[in-house]
Structure 1
Amino acid sequence: MVALASSTEKRLTVQLAEIASGTTAIRSLDWDRDRFDIEFGLQNGTTYNSFIIRGDKVALVDTSHAKFRDRYIACLQETIDPREIDYLIISHTEPDHSGLVREVLELAPQAVVVGTKVAIQFLEGFVHHPFESRIVKSGIRLDLGDGHDLEFVNAPNLHWPDTMLTYDWGTQVLFTCDVFGMHYCSDALWDEDLEAIAPDYRFYFECLMAPNARSVLMALKRMGGLGDIEAVANGHGPLLKHHAEELIECYRTWSQAKAKAEKMVAVFYVPNYGYSDRLSQALAYGIGKTGVEVEMVDLTGTDQQEIREVAERAAGIVLGMPPSSGREATEAATAIGTILASAREKQAIGLFEAYGGDDEPIDPLLTRFRNLGLKPSFPSIRITETPGEATYKLCEEAGTDLGQWLLREKTVKQMKSLDSDLDKAMGRLSGGLYIITAKKGELKSAMLASWVAQASAEPLGVSIAVAKDRAIEALMQVGDRFILNVLEAGNYQSLMKHFLKRFPPGADRFEGVETRQASNGAPILAGALAYLECEVVSRMECSDHWVIYSTVDTGRVSKAEALTAVHHRKVGNHY
């Protein structure tokens, strides 16, 4: 294993390693990457993994992010003469994996680009010079010789519409790009330390794969026709070998739970136009946090019959504005016509701009949906500058509002269930009153909490149950820091009233509230009786909540003789 680093930029490194017979990994390690897609502040950086397969012929599987241009190309040239590359296999065309396709093809103009039909179309749009290509589908094989017989598996919508997997029957290595990946950067090539990577693996799934649970299950079904999987050569994070079977099975378990949801929202977007894909992913993530199923659909590359079926089955429709001119505009207009023809009264509707520079206007389309009897579930998202953390968080919260709106009848019914002895008995479990405050990057959030308890004495630690659909949940991942503000008995009503309000998506939850900054960066409420500075150590899934265990770094009491406010409930099935 060889690690190549720059003396001037030590936090971008390249790792070269043999992972199987005739198979080499080129891993671009981005140690300080603190944001990726909709994941609000990565704790452990990320990697971009590329692979060389040598048989009688040579295949390069994916490239790297453009920021690694010099390092990656140098490593590639030191490893192999690019003129020997026969095939460039594109697992999908998102820029973090295909960002150097143009440069590779300049060095290897003889290489045949292999990918799905959608992938080849995307590449033709940004390579800007002719290249030989081969479109493949599930079951198609490519024999490189010397035992390397590759079989392709279509895996659309994981998490782009052009994704495919590649299985080498000779080495039993499955090349998966985004699938079974995680944003986790370390020198460890393999997944030896499951405890270290598990939170990032789950968070990655929730953000990028859960919104396409049915597509995940379909891909797993197609994988059933392959042989044994000795290793998973994914596109992000350590490769999977020691725990591959267990981690693949996690995808099945998590996806089955998502696919059993009573209601579904269809999110329509245009890949490779503006920020449509990332904004739609943030909306889908927010919807999924409520337990509502999500199906993401490409407006420009999906069969009209499939669009009709999804739109008819959906309880809600979210639509990203397509471009108003060009080929994609024509295809999107046809798809939108199909959606309008399939829509029905009382479906939820939400629209967002893609910020692609040529967006169709929102208002005329929203009026058409309103006239059909659809109900807007959140204010249309209009974007006036390049999307940043605040915009993605707004989208997440808008998606959560939509999901909660769809489940409102179930929620009300549950809250009215007051005659159960069990519910009444559970309600006798009292707790203190607290407000959790958190800040990560430019994002801030807060939540009133009562399911809080000390969990350890050495080190000092607390456990907090946080509902999955809470906005603050995304800011309480492993490694995140927050403040536990303790409210004072007899002097908590104003703070409780403020933080019990239903905030619109993107609203500042601290407006009008006096705060000061803690050493960990989170806001301390001036009106709190005491505060504790906490760091998340682990998370345990408990049905509709996460139980979050955190160690306590420091704390302070403002009134030594005052008591903590206590919350008494009547029933145990809601707060």
Structure 2
Amino acid sequence: MALLTEANPITKAPGLLTIETAQIGAETTAIRCLDWDRERFDIEFGLRNGTTYNSFLIQGEKIALVDTSHRKFENLYLELLTGLIDPGQIDYLIVSHTEPDHSGLVRNILELAPNITIVGAKVAIQFLENMVHQPFKSKLVKSGERLDLGNGHELEFISAPNLHWPDTILTYDHKTKILYTCDVFGMHYCDDHTYDENFNVIEEDFKYYYDCLMGPNARSVLAALKRIEKLEIGTVATGHGPLLQHHISEWLGRYGTWSLEQAKTETLVAMFYAEDYGYSEQLVRAIAHGCTKTGVAVELVDINSAEPQEVRELVGQAAGLVISMPSQNSVTAHAAIGTILAAAHQKQTIGLLESGGGEDEPVYPLRNKFQELGLTEGFPPILIKEHPSQSTEQLCEEAGTDLGQWLTRDRTIKQIKSINTDLEKALGRISNGLYIITAKKGEVQSAMFASWVTQASLNPLGVAIAVSKDRAIESLMHVGDRFVLNVLEEGKYQGLMKHFLKRFAPGADRFAGVKTYPATNGSPILAEALAYMECEITSRIDCGDHWIIYSTVQTGRVAKIDGLTAVHHRKIGNHY
């Protein structure tokens, strides 16, 4: 069956939207939402052939829905689903990951099926609790666990974190030999072919998708491939594009080849945490996010279940190590730490933190042992004494960024020296004003000294700012966030510039000693600023090592009518 509609006026979806179903296995239906004209996938990359959002219905003795769809398909999707089955009969909703294009209708499904059990990774359930703001039944699953739907449909879950979302799981149905992979092995390609029979037509889009989404996490790709290598796979049911059936070995083989090539050139940080102990996983993932902003690869390992050989090999490959302290009562974790100490060497960088479980192995004795081995400390030990707050997570993210910047310092210097002399001198002749961006979200606030700022539109009034991906404030600069653009005054900016250009320790108060007052959007206004504008972010564009942040200006004022904006004149254009 197929339903056709023009763009939904409620969600303002551009272009043509259609939806179709296909029987892809015994008691198994694919629900494919086709977005024919979509030109950009969020902020990540442009699309040439639209995209699809794929959802799946498995009807054994118990019924499972694998993923939902994008909110723009709300009416079409729910109308089709209720035509296939009474939603109240669905027992499980499997959330492969919580990115909105796959989980956008979870709240709707909960309204139709309030007794449904949501199945997902621990991190996914935590994300959903913050997304739907209502209680729901849940089942947390780890790699290797199974769920029996009856009629032979036994589902096995495979952990695949960071592909490309931290909570990703794959699901394998042992009856139909279908592997449900969400983003993994997908592509942004929209046509009415359910499967991948047109290999030559779609291979370019397959590679483009890998480069944009999966390539940055090549080591995680290799780990996922290793976990599924013994499965007999008849169909790869992807979350985007055609399902893979005709050329599975070729597609998976290419992922392996590309990822091996990528992994050889990566700077790696191995992060060890204790799953289900304290806040270990939550905090380590925040550090990992900060690291990846600097272009460093990370690999997360549960210290309670890792094999000694796996730990030894990983430590041998890593430039940096992060350890979240396990419980003093965990014999397995103690053995793993001993393996890490035996494999570590003085060229590595180390970061340690408490897990906050109440019985943590002490940080400082282990810190002393690593110092005796000659390892450099990437950030001071992070000590957790209470439930982590937004500030705690920000501290961890900034610590990860500091670690990543330290590990990539030689690469950064090399890049600065690599631009042609004439070109860098020419670029340096582009002059800019001087500004300080201030932002606050919840209990977290940050600031950034900026010069790459320009007015970008008149109707609506808008400004564009280039923000380096490894800046601490970057996490407060997403679509919907608000900030203040403070304009510095010529001849009176040196004090503020010196303050905000200095290197802050992770979690440090960037406004200590600086006079501010709150804007209507909550962000700090600098009392010494020549002028300020309150802004709301409406889009972000990926520009390599920077984001271009476009924002509409809500309000503003000038403190000194005859004051002039401070201007920055550079001599070279390949670094600040």
TM-score clears 0.5: yes
Q: Which residue of 1 aligns with 2:50?
A: none
1:270-285 superposed matches below 5 A = 270-285=274-289
SS of 1:363's equivalent? helix
Deviation at 1:377, TM superposition (A): 1.2
Equivalent of 2:60, from 55, 60, 63?
55
Q: Are the structure 2 counterparts of residues 371 and 171 from structure 1 closer, same or farther at C-alpha, using a change threshold of 3 Å?
A: closer
Q: Which amino acid in the other structure matches residue 404 of structure 1?
A: Q
Structure 2 partner of 1:557? 558
Q: Give the match for residue 113 of structure 2.
A: 75
Task: Flag the 1:475–1:490 CA change in 2: closer, same or farther, 3 A.
Answer: same
Residues 92-135 of structure 1: CA deviation (Å, up to 9, x unaligned) = 45582899999789xxxxxxx99744x47xxxxxxxxxxxx88x
Q: Take 1:484 and 1:256, find their aligned partners in 2: how far apart are those partners?
A: 43
Could you tell me which runs of 5 or more consecutive residues in structure 1 were left unpaired when the two chains were aligned.
1-17, 26-49, 80-87, 106-112, 121-132, 135-141, 182-201, 233-239
Name 1:144's counterpart in structure 2: 151
Structure 2 residue 312 is the aligned partner of structure 1 residue 312: no
User: Which residue number in structure 2 is paired with residue 214 of structure 1?
Assistant: 219
What is the Cα deviation at residue 154 of structure 1? 2.9
Q: Would the alpha carbon gap of residues 62 and 74 (structure 1) be closer, same or farther in structure 2, given more than 3 Å must change?
A: closer
The alignment status of 1:370 with 2:371, answered yes or no, reads yes
Task: Kindly report which structure 2 residues correspond to 1:128-527, keeping only aligned pairs within 5 A, or say none.
Answer: 144=151, 152=156, 154-158=158-162, 163-166=169-172, 174=180, 176=182, 213-216=218-221, 218-219=223-224, 226=233, 232=239, 259=263, 262-325=266-329, 329-415=330-416, 420-527=421-528
Distance in 2, Cα, partners of 1:535 & 1:179: 33
SS of alignment partner, residue 144 of structure 1: coil
| In 2: Cα distance, 1:560 partner to 1:309 partner | 64
Aligned-partner SS, 2:113: helix
Give the CA deviation at 1:407. 1.7
Q: Is the 8 A contact 2:283 2:396 kept in 1?
A: yes
Cα 1:563–1:285 change in 2 (3 A) is same
Q: How far apart are 1:448 and its partner, in Å? A: 0.3
Match of residue 43 from structure 1 = none
Is the CA contact (8 Å cut-off) linking 1:263 and 1:315 kept in structure 2? yes
Match of residue 125 from structure 2: 96
Query: What TM-score do the two structures reach when normalised by structure 2?
Result: 0.68
**What's the CA shift string for 1:126-166, capped at 9, x where partnerless?**
xxxxxxx88xxxxxxx9836xxx667573444577994423
With over 3 angstroms needed to count, the CA separation of the structure-2 counterparts of 1:162 and 1:175, relative to structure 1, is: closer
Contact 2:122 2:167 in 1 (8 A): no
Secondary structure at 2:385 match in 1: coil
CA contact (8 A) 2:172 2:178 kept: no
Distance 2:326 2:168 in 1: 18
Inter-CA distance 321–173: structure 2 relative to 1 (3 Å threshold): closer
d(CA) in 1 for partners of 2:261, 2:518: 39
Amino acid corresponding to residue 305 of structure 1 in structure 2: Q
Q: Is the 8 A contact 2:486 2:533 kept in 1?
A: yes
User: Counterparts of 2:530 and 2:259 in 1: how far apart (Å)?
Assistant: 43
**TM-score normalised by length of structure 1:** 0.68
Partners of 1:255 and 1:144 in 2: how far apart? Answer: 37
**Cα pair 2:114 2:136 within 8 Å, conserved:** no
Distance in 2 (alpha carbons) for counterparts of 1:144 and 1:160: 32
Instruction: Report SS of the residue matched to 1:479.
Output: coil
Q: Return the letter of the residue paired with 2:277.
A: Y
Aligned partners of 1:411 and 1:538: how far apart in 2?
28
Quick one: which amino acid aligns to residue 398 of structure 1? A
1:488–1:375 Cα change, 3 Å? same
Q: Which residue type is aligned with residue 429 of structure 1?
A: I
User: What is the SS of the residue equivalent to 2:397?
Assistant: helix
CA distance in 2, matches of 1:92, 1:168: 20
Q: Could you say which residue in structure 1 is the equivalent of 2:571?
A: 570
Q: Is the 8 A contact 1:168 1:174 kept in 2?
A: no
> CA separation of 1:74/1:414 partners in 2, compared to 1, >3 Å: closer, same or farther?
closer
RMSD (Å) for aligned C-alpha atoms: 4.5
Contact 2:431 2:569 in 1 (8 A): yes
Summarize deviations over 1:350-405 as a string: whole Å, max 9, x none: 00000011100001111111111111111100112210100000000001111111
| SS of equivalent residue, structure 2 residue 554 | strand
8 Å CA contact 2:125–2:138 kept in 1: the answer is no
After superposition, give the CA deviation of every residue in 1:529-558 in whole Å (9 maximum; x if it has no partner): 111111111111111111111111111111
Tell me: CA distance 1:161–1:519, structure 2 relative to 1, closer, same or farther (3 Å). Answer: closer
Q: After superposition, give the CA deviation of every residue in 1:65-115 in whole Å (9 maximum; x if it has no partner).
A: 9xx99x9699366x8xxxxxxxx996545582899999789xxxxxxx997
- The residue aligned with 1:139 is none
Give the 3 Å change call, closer, same or farther, for CA 475–447 of structure 1 in structure 2.
same
CA shift at 1:410, angstroms? 2.9
Cα deviation for residue 302 of structure 1 reads 1.6
Contact 2:177-2:233 within 8 A present in 1 as well: no
Q: SS of the counterpart of 2:463? A: strand
CA, structure 1 residues 388+114, in 2 after alignment: closer, same or farther (shift >3 Å)?
closer
Name the amino acid aligned to 2:276: N
